[in-house]
A and B are shown apart, each in its own frame.
Chain A
Amino acid sequence: SQKIEQNSEALNIQEGKTATLTCNYTNYSPAYLQWYRQDPGRGPVFLLLIRENEKEKRKERLKVTFDTTLKQSLFHITASQPADSATYLCALGALLSGGYNKLIFGAGTRLAVHP
């Protein structure tokens, strides 16, 4: 069956360092992959989308890579700040016949950035 794995343990890093979060998947060939941020008591907020034919995408301090051979995406936050502390969700997208995207989410990784 389809499976998405994200680090289940919290990632603790020092302010200013680069945080790297991993998303691995099996039995799936996504057309694209998205990363979301979720704060406690709130809904997920979209951060970045990367398509299957793209290797890397950047947005400000964020960088996402997508390796369809390894079936893995890496999400990097450079110069991390305490305000980056949140849960980060990986979501795989499938373009279905109805023309819409159905997202399959991982369980998320909690990031804590310490001053």
Chain B
Amino acid sequence: GAGVSQSPRYKVAKRGQDVALRCDPISGHVSLFWYQQALGQGPEFLTYFQNEAQLDKSGLPSDRFFAERPEGSVSTLKIQRTQQEDSAVYLCASGPTGSGTDTQYFGPGTRLTVL
């Protein structure tokens, strides 16, 4: 079956532009996570959805970052007024049950470069 997909794979934005990153989780998966991965670092948690409910957004760096999952499947991470420090790979992961030790299945990521 299909894994987690993300689009676009690469995005170049000028400073100040808004961007929207899309995540298509594995069909039927309850959990959805967004992570930010800087070069040479591990992924850092941004936000978590259980179905359509955003249960944790404690990792979002600023109010310029916004995520949604309105129908409990596809999710969008939006970054407004992008800054150079937003340049990173944004990873999406989904999990089947939403339970504590769910395996997280990661997408390939979107590499965002802000000029």
Q: Does B109 contact A (CB under 8 A)?
A: yes
Does chain B have a CB within 8 A of A115?
A: no
Q: A100-B50, A100-B55 are in contact. Are A89 and B42 (CB under 8 A)?
A: yes
The number of residues on chain B lying at the interface, defined by a beta carbon within 8 Å of a beta carbon of chain A, is 29
Within 8 Å by CB of B102, from A31, A42, A101, lies A101
Q: Which DSSP category, helix, strand, loop or mixed, fits chain A's interface?
A: strand
Q: Which A residue's beta carbon lies closest to that of B3?
A: A43
- Which B residues are CB-close (under 8 A) to A93? 100-101
Total number of A-B contacts with CB less than 8 angstroms? 72
Which residues of chain A are near B31, meaning CB under 8 Å?
100
Chain A residues bordering chain B, tally (CB within 8 A): 27
Q: Which of B11-19, B66-74, B91-99 sits within the interface?
A: B91-99
B62 at interface by CB-CB < 8 Å: no
A32-B101, A98-B55 known; A43+B4 contact, CB < 8 A: yes
List chain B residues, Cβ under 8 A from A95.
Answer: 100-101
B43, CB-defined interface residue at 8 Å? yes
Say whether A86 faces chain B, with CB atoms less than 8 Å apart.
Answer: no
16 A-B pairs besides A43-B109, A93-B100 with CB distance below 8 A are A31-B101, A41-B109, A43-B93, A44-B43, A46-B104, A49-B101, A95-B100, A95-B101, A100-B98, A100-B100, A101-B100, A101-B101, A102-B48, A103-B43, A105-B35, A105-B44
